[in-house]
Structure 1
Amino acid sequence: MKTGFLLMRRVVIALALLLGLNPALAAEVRGLPQIVDADTVYIGQTKIRFSGVDAPETEQICLDSAGTNWNCGLEAKERLQAFSSNHEWNCQLSGQDVYRRSLGFCTVNGENVSRWLVRNGWALDFRRYSTDFVADEDFAREHKRGLWSGAFIAPWDWRHRNPSTVVLGALAVPTNAQRALIAHAPTDEAPHPSNCLIKGNLTSAPQCIYHLPGGRFYDRLSMQPTSSRRWFCSEAEAQAAGCRKSKL
């Protein structure tokens, strides 16, 4: 029995090495998720980033089908929470990203969470790394589901948006609305989403820093509508984005 177990363990490690994986990271995790945003969750102490997909940031603004500003990132998170409905998840891990988050895919009640997100328009196929969900993205776009019902910026472009950033979706975007999407807000300071009061400074080196209300630098940190500033709804969300808490 022991010999058979050791042989099986060696086979698993060999396969992991053949696929370029760290054997310690090729693992299975089960449990109820703490959903940080629509593509990042915690299960216990394990922080998991869904591989192959990219979902809008929690503070990301889109336009709905009527052309009105819409907090699509927060809704994507809420839709995933409703889909999860306090059921146990089963996640297969396959490595780590540059932020030391575990990468992998998860299922709930036998359904692939990443596929559900893309097919319902709450995430995009992250084609830089995978094309597993292209057909599901085409389905969501054709049926104008989720983000595709209005106008939005791809999450990877949102993080580095500028006046030439492409706007996607079903809605023909007026010039002034496009400007508002690119800037995130037409004012000097980007408003925070409801209950999202933690300020993130992504330009801090060597690691971005988040500031809690009441902190020494909280009021001094101007939240200009740029990709270097971000509102977070929880410390878990800030930490999942690779930020650390301000020491003051």
Structure 2
Amino acid sequence: MKQRIMVVALLAVIASPVCAAKLRGPARILDGNTIEIEQTKIRLSGIEAPETDQICLDAHGRKWTCGVAARDELIKHSNGRTWDCHTKGVDEYWRSRGSCFIEGEDVNAWMVRSGWALSSGPYVIYEVVASKTCAGLWSGAFVAPWDWRRRNKGTIIIGASSVPVDAQELLLGSALLSDPPSSECVIKGTVGRNGERIYHLPGQLSYEKLDMTKPGERWLCSEAEAEANGWRKAAR
């Protein structure tokens, strides 16, 4: 009973307006969902960008690193400008949830409208626009970001009106991520039996032995990204 009361109290604190804050300054882009301002990690609320290790298909049915592209497009759009973020509450990895603006423009909405993220909240109309104009991810075929980590042979592939016949094998094959999706994304993230997320750097003891085709394993592009998404560094 005591433990239950503590959990309820913690959830109340997380949801409380007391947790609301305003942050202003240049942003460090960690991935298409996550930024950092003044050492505060912020999860852009209401959107789901692809994971940095996510692979999509382009208009010609060719594989491309859409997760890295989404992050890089956000970096280019930010272009060192000042961000204004309004945060309220935190997510399961203790990132502040926020709506962010650059010179008055809603960045969360821009990510969805430009096709670099899907809506998981109030931005559905922008997602419709992106799909109609074949912007970003919508130029080809892809897996919804929330399905990517637990994908299997039955996972739905969405995107352009004409999905390639071999899309299932290209995007859902078990060996898809045996190699890094990008030369910069060489950190290995593994999930233990107890659900603990651990990342391994090249040169660490068990790095070469890890099988990245196992469900739940993923490639990461930086330690900052790994830690922002709930991974901790392997002891050796």
Alignment-derived partner of residue 146 in structure 1:
136
Tell which deviates more after alignment, 192-201 or 83-92. Answer: 192-201
Q: 2:91 aligns with which of 97, 112, 116?
A: 97
Which residue of the partner structure matches residue 21 of structure 1? 16
Q: Distance in 2 between matches of 1:149 and 1:79?
A: 15
Task: Report the alpha carbon displacement of residue 88 of structure 1 after superposing the two structures with TM.
Answer: 1.0
- Name stretches of at least 5 consecutive residues in structure 2 with no aligned partner: 1-11
* Secondary structure in structure 1 of the residue aligned to 2:196: coil
CA RMSD after TM alignment:
1.8
> For 1:13-162, what aligned pairs fall within 5 Å after superposition?
20-23=15-18, 25-126=19-120, 130=121, 132-162=122-152
| 2:206 maps to 1:217 | yes
Q: Is the 8 A contact 1:158 1:227 kept in 2?
A: no
TM-score, normalised by the number of residues in structure 1: 0.85
Give distance in 1, aligned partners of 2:181 and 2:160. Answer: 26
What's the offset of the Cα at 1:185? 4.3
- Does structure 2 conserve the Cα–Cα contact (< 8 Å) formed by 1:84 and 1:108? yes
Structure 2 residue 216 is the aligned partner of structure 1 residue 228 = yes
Q: For the residues of structure 1 that align with 2:87 and 2:160, how far apart are their CA atoms? A: 35
Residue by residue, what CA displacement relative to the aligned partner does 1:99-153 show, whole Å, maximum 9, x if unpaired?
Answer: 1111011101110111000000000001xxx2x1011000000111000010000
Percentage of matched positions with identical amino acids:
46
Q: 1:207–1:82: structure 2 CA closer, same or farther, 3 Å change rule?
A: same
| Correspondence for 2:156 | 166
Helix, strand or coil: the match of 2:207? coil
Alpha-carbon distance in structure 1 between the residues aligned to 2:75 and 2:174: 25
Q: 1:5 matched to which residue of 2?
A: none
- After TM superposition, the score normalised by the length of structure 2 is 0.89
Q: Deviations over 1:33-68 (max 9, x none)?
A: 111111111112111101110000001000001110
Gaps of 5+ in 1: 1-16
**How many aligned positions are there?**
224
Q: 2:234: which partner in 1?
A: 246
Aligned residues of 1:119 and 1:139 also touching (Cα < 8 A)? yes
Quote the Cα distance in structure 2 between the aligned partners of 1:227 and 1:171: 29
Which residue of 2 is the match for residue 12 of structure 1? Answer: none
Q: Does 1:180 align with 2:170?
A: yes
What CA distance in whole angstroms lies between the structure 1 residues aligned with 2:215 and 2:104?
Answer: 37
* Preserved contact between residue 44 and residue 100 of structure 2 (Cα < 8 Å): yes
